[in-house]
Amino acid sequence: MDLTSFYAQFRDETADNLRVLNDALLAIEGQAGETLRRSELDRAFRAVHTIKGAARMLGFDPIAQVAHAIEHVLGEIRQERCTLDRPLADLLLRGGDLIGQLVAEAPQMPAPALAAVPEIVQALGAASPAEPAAAPSSPPAAAPQPPPALAEPAPRAARQTVRVRVDRLDRLFNLAGELAVNQQWLGEVGQELYRLQEAVERQQRAVQALERELARLRFSPTQRQALDARLATLRDAQAALADLAQRQSDRLDRHLARQQMLVKDLEQEVMAVRLLPIATIFNSLPRLVRDLAAATNKQATIEIRGETTELDRKVLEVISDPLVHLVRNAVDHGLEAPDERVAAGKPPVGLIQISAESAGNEVRIQIRDDGRGIDPERVRQRAVELGMLGAERARQLDTQEALDVIFQPGFSTARTVTEISGRGVGMDIVRANLIELGGQVRVDSIVGQGTTVTLTIPLTLITSRVLLVQAGRQMLALPAATIRGILWVRRDQVQLIDGQPTIAYQQQTVALLSLAELLGMNVDAPLVRHPRAPALLLNARQRRIALLVDDLLDEREAVVKPLGPLFARRPALSGAVQLGDGGLALLINPLQLIEGGARRAAALPVLSQSLRDESRRARLLVVDDSFTTRELLRSILQSAGYEVTVAIDGADALDRLRSTTYDLVVSDIEMPRVDGFTLTTRIRRELALSELPVVLITSLASEEHRRRGLEAGAQAYIVKSQFNQDSLLKVIQQLLGHEE
Amino acid sequence: MQTSPTQPVASTAYLLFRVAAERYALASASVREIIRWRLPTPVPGAPPLLPGVINQRGQILAIIDLRLLLGLVAAAPDRATRLIWVHHSGIDAALLVDAVDDLIAIEPSQIEPPPVHVAGPAQRVIHALYRHHDQPVAILDPAALFALVQEAA
C-alpha cells in the first residue's frame, strides 16, 4: 500500500497541531483566569493526543513516544498534580519542537532528532512524578495504550475544508487566464459578425438599386416575369441572411456579456483561494520573542495586529524568513537590557509591535521596537571603516540614506556591526527577498526611541501592476512598484560625469542607463535615435538611476507567468506577461538587473551641457489617481520649466495645499476619496484660495460636466481626447499671466 | 503505423521527427503536444539556441532550437517546421524540429546502444539507437537535453 499521501497529510496535520500546542502553552503562561487556562490546556491536550494517535497508526514510534510524554505531563497539570512553571513550559515546548523536527521529513526521521528522543522523554517523565520515568535504553514500545479518559479526538469534521495541492491551484488559475484570453478572441468574432451585417446591408441596397434600374428598362412580358421571379428569390434570401446575421450577432453579444462576468468571477475566486491569512506566519512570533528575550536576558512583550490580513501563499513563503529575522533583530539588537531601559526612563519590559494591513494592491507589514534605535552617525563611521564609502560620500548621506546602508551586503554581514549599529546580519538577504517579490523594505529609526522596519509587498504574485515600455524593437513589462517616476530627457540635458551619462533632477544627479543595452540588446541608445526619450526613475534607494526607454506604451494589471527553470540563471527576467492578443511581453525586474552586476554604462554621445535657468519657476500641483497620467503630466510640465509636485487624489492635494503654496493646480476629475469637482469647490471655500488657478483635465467630455467644473470654480477644462501638450502649456501660461 | 503484426505489451510509443537530414525519436510519454511553428517572443541576452518563448494555452514554453543544440546550422522555418512540447523532470519546453513524421511503437529488444563514433553535444543527448526501415533513428534523452540547455543558458 502506498502511504505517501498519508505521510504528506500527517506532516501537514502535525504541523497544525504543533502550532495549536505552542499557542496554547504560551497562552496558559500568560493567562491568569482559571477558565481560560483550563480551555487552553484542553486544546493543547487534544492537539498532542491527535499527534500521538496518527504517529502510532503510521508506525512513527519515536514521535508517538514524545507525544505521549507531553500528553502525560499535560494530564498531570490538568489533574493539578503538578504546576506549569517556566522550566516545565520550556520543556514542553522543546518536546513540541522535537516532534516538529521528526515530522518535517517523515517518513525519514533525522538522526540527531532521533538521538534527542530518549533525553526529552526522560526529562518529561521526570517532570511528572505520577509516572515513572521511562528508561532511555528501553523506551516504551508502541503497544496499545488506553487513551486517557478525558481525551477526545480533535473535532475535524466541523471544519469544512479540503487540502488542495498548490500546483493544482496554479493550473486552475492558468485555465482561468486562458478563458479570459479566449474571451477576447470571441470578442473579435463578434466584430467580424458586425462587419458581416454591414456587408449584408450594402448588398441589400445594391439589390434595391438594381431592381430600380431594371424597372426602367423594357423587357418582354416573359422576360419581365422571369426577372421578377429571380428578384423575389434574391430578396427572400437577402432577408433571411440579414435576419440570421442579426440574430447571431445578438446572441454572441449576450453570450459574451454573460461569459465576461463569469470569467471575472472565476479569476477572482481562484485568486482568493491562494490567499492565506498572515497569521500562519505571525503565529510563530510570540514564541520566538519569548525564547529570544530569555536567551538574551531581556524582557519583551509582543503585540500583533492585523493577523487576518491575507496574502498569496507564495508571498508568505518568501517573507517568512525575513520576518523572523527582523523580529530577531528587534529583540536581540533593538531592545536594551531591563536596567538600561529603566535608566533611560523606559519601562523595563520592551515592546515589539508587529502589524499587517492591506492598502490597495499592497500589504504593509511593520516591525516596530521601542529599543535604542540606530544611530546614523555610527552607520556612516562603520561604512567608512569597512571601506564601503569614502568619508566625503558618507558625510553627504542624509539620515534616511545612512540607515539604508545597513541593507548593503558587505555591511550587515560584518560581525562587529551588531555591537555598533544595533542591527544584525542578513539585512541584505531581507532586501533581496523583498526585491524578488517586487516589494520594498524601509527602515526608520529614532535614536533612543526605537526602530521601525516597513515591508511593502504586492498582495498577490499572479497579477501585478506593470508598465509596458518599448525598448529597442521589443515590448517589455516592468513592475510598477519598482519605478518611482518618469522623467523625459532631452539630449541637451545629458551631462557626462566620469564618462557616465547623467541628468540633473530635483537638485540631484541621476545616472542614465539604457534598458535595452543593460539587457544586452544590440540597438542604439534611445537618445541616439530620438531627441527626447522617457526614462524610468527606479525605486532603488542607494543609487539614483533612471532607465532610458524608447517609448511608454501602457500601464495595466497583468497576469504574470513564470519563465521556468531554463531561465533560472537570469533573475532579472521575472516572468512573462500575457497580452490581450495572446502575445507575451517579458517582465523585467529593473532592480535585479542593476543588482545583477550588469551595470555597464549606456554609452550616450557627448552632448552639449546646458542648464536651464532656474530662477523663479512657477510651482504646480498635479493631481491624478493614475500613475501614468500623473507622471506624463509631471514630465511635460517639468520639461516646460515648471516645478511640479504630484498628489494621488483630491484629499492628498488638499493636504499639500494646506502646507505649501502653489501657483496653479492641474487636476483629474474622477478620483477616489475627493474628486476634481469637490477639490475645486473646497479649494475655493475651505482654503479660501479664490485666486488659485485650477485646470481640470478629464475624459468626461459632456457639456454638463464642463458646466459643473466651471461652476465649481475651475478656470479651464481640458478634455483628454482633445488633449495635446501645447494647448495645456498655453492654458497654463495664460493663467499664470506670463504669456509669451 | 505498426512495426509488428501483434502489438507486444512491452513496446513503447515514440514520436519520430527530423532535424536537418537526420531522424530522431522521443518517448511519447514526455511529449505533451505538437504545435505549429509560430514566431516566439525573443528573450534578450539568451543564447541563439533559445530563440524565445511562446504562450501555449497559458503555459510559457521556452523554444529550444534542436539544430543549434546538436551543432548544426540554423534553418529558416517552413510549413513543415514544428514545435514539440516536452514535459520532463519538471521542465516544460518546446523543441524546434524540421518536421514531425510519425508515432511508432518500439520494443525494447529493437533498441541498440548509441553509436560510439558520435561526438560533441549529440553524444550527450542520444541515449539509444533504433533502425527504422534500415535508417538509423537516434532516441533522445530529454533529461540530458534539458541539462545541456541549462548549461548553455
Which residues of chain A make contact with B55, given a CB cutoff of 8 A?
561, 576, 578, 582-584
- 3-state SS, A251-270, equals HHHHHHHHHHHHHHHHHHHH
How far apart are the C-alpha atoms of A526 and A516, rounded to whole Å? 9
pLDDT at B99: 94
Residue A205 CB-density burial (10 A; 0-12 exposed, 13-18 middle, 19+ buried):
exposed
How far apart are the C-alpha atoms of A727 and A723, rounded to whole Å? 7
Of the candidates A402, A404, A413, the one whose C-alpha atom is nearest the C-alpha of residue A378 is A402
Contacts for A82 with CB less than 8 Å, ≥ 6 apart: A73, A76, A88, A127, A128, A129
Q: Could you tell me which CATH number the domain at A463-595 has?
A: 2.40.50.180
- What is the greatest pairwise CA distance in chain A? 125
pLDDT at A542: 58
How far apart are the C-alpha atoms of A198 and A291, rounded to whole Å? 76
Q: Tell me which DSSP letter residue B28 carries.
A: G
How is domain B24-152 classified at the CATH fold level? OB fold (Dihydrolipoamide Acetyltransferase, E2P) (2.40.50)
Q: Is the per-residue pLDDT at A14 higher than 80?
A: yes
Q: Is the per-residue pLDDT at A699 higher than 90?
A: no
Q: Where are the domains of chain B?
A: 24-152
φ, ψ of residue A89 to 5 degrees: the values are -60, -45
Q: Which triple of cell numbers denotes residue A288?
A: 520566538
User: Hey, which bits of B47-152 come out as E strands?
Assistant: 52-56, 59-65, 82-88, 91-97, 99-106, 111-112, 126-132, 135-140
Chain-chain contact of B91 with A567 (C-beta, under 8 angstroms): no
Looking up cell 430600380, which residue turns up? A212
pLDDT at A665: 93
How far apart are the C-alpha atoms of A622 and A648, rounded to whole Å? 8
What does A80-104 look like in DSSP terms, one character per residue? TSS---HHHHHHHHHHHHHHHHHHH
Mean pLDDT for the stretch of residues A26-51? 79
Looking at residue A562, its amino acid is: P
Confidence tier at A185 by pLDDT (50, 70, 90): confident
State pLDDT tens for residues A414-452.
444 443 333 444 777 788 778 777 778 888 999 889 999
Chain A contacts to B (CB-CB under 8 A) = 174-175, 177-178, 181, 474, 516, 519-521, 561-570, 573, 575-576, 578, 582-586
Q: Which triple of cell numbers denotes residue A258?
A: 454573460
How far apart are the C-alpha atoms of B81 and B75, rounded to whole Å? 10
Q: Is the per-residue pLDDT at A144 higher than 50?
A: no
Query: CB contact, 8 Å: B96 with chain A?
Result: no
Instruction: Give the chain B residue nearest A174 (alpha carbons).
Output: B58
Which residues of chain A make contact with B92, given a CB cutoff of 8 A?
564
How far apart are the C-alpha atoms of A391 and A405, rounded to whole Å? 14
- Look at domain A619-736 and name its CATH class: alpha beta
State pLDDT tens for residues A65-94.
899 889 888 888 887 788 888 888 888 888
Which residues of chain A make contact with B58, given a CB cutoff of 8 A?
174-175, 177-178, 181, 561, 578
- Look at domain A4-127 and name its CATH class: mainly alpha
Listed as ranges, residues in chain B with pLDDT below 50 are 1-8
- Within 10 angstroms of residue A268's Cβ, the number of other Cβ atoms is 11
| Percentage above 70 pLDDT, chain A | 85
Confidence tier at A529 by pLDDT (50, 70, 90): confident
Query: CB contact, 8 Å: B129 with chain A?
Result: no
Q: Is the per-residue pLDDT at A163 higher than 50?
A: yes
Q: Is the per-residue pLDDT at A32 higher than 80?
A: no
How far apart are the C-alpha atoms of A552 and A556, rounded to whole Å? 12
Q: Which residues pair with A536 in a beta bridge?
A: A486, A547
State pLDDT tens for residues A439-486.
788 889 998 899 999 998 877 666 677 899 999 889 999 988 788 888
pLDDT at A492: 85
The distance of Cα A230 from the centroid of its chain, to the nearest Å, equals 68
How far apart are the C-alpha atoms of A85 and A641, rounded to whole Å? 71
pLDDT at A25: 85
pLDDT at A465: 78
Which residues of chain B make contact with A166, given a CB cutoff of 8 A?
none
Mutate to test the interface with B, among A561, A566, A581, A584 (most CBs of B within 10 A): A566
Instruction: Between A246 and A161, name the one with better pLDDT.
Output: A246
Mutate to test the interface with A, among B32, B53, B85, B91 (most CBs of A within 10 A): B53
User: Hey, which bits of A459-498 come out as E strands?
Assistant: 463-471, 474-479, 483-490, 495-497
Q: Is the per-residue pLDDT at A302 higher than 50?
A: yes
The bridge status of strand A440-446 relative to strand A350-359 is: unpaired
A564 → closest Cβ in B42, B44, B62: B62
SS3 B16: strand
How far apart are the C-alpha atoms of A80 and A89, rounded to whole Å? 15
State pLDDT tens for residues A337-361.
999 999 999 999 999 999 998 876 6
Q: How far A572 CA sits from the closest chain B CA (Å)?
A: 11
Instruction: Between A494 and B10, name the one with better pLDDT.
Output: A494
First CA to last CA across chain B, in angstroms? 38
How far apart are the C-alpha atoms of A158 and A553, rounded to whole Å? 52
pLDDT at A192: 86
- In degrees, rounded to 5, the angle at the alpha carbon of residue A261 between the alpha carbons of residues A258 and A265 is 140
ipTM of the complex: 0.86
Instruction: Between A602 and A208, name the one with better pLDDT.
Output: A208
Chain-chain contact of B91 with A519 (C-beta, under 8 angstroms): no
How is domain A277-458 classified at the CATH fold level? Heat Shock Protein 90 (3.30.565)
Q: Where are the domains of chain A?
A: 4-127, 166-273, 277-458, 463-595, 619-736
pLDDT at A225: 92
Which residues of chain A make contact with B60, given a CB cutoff of 8 A?
561-564, 575-576, 584
Mean pLDDT for the stretch of residues A671-681? 86
Looking up cell 523580529, which residue turns up? A327
Confidence tier at A31 by pLDDT (50, 70, 90): low
pLDDT at A179: 79
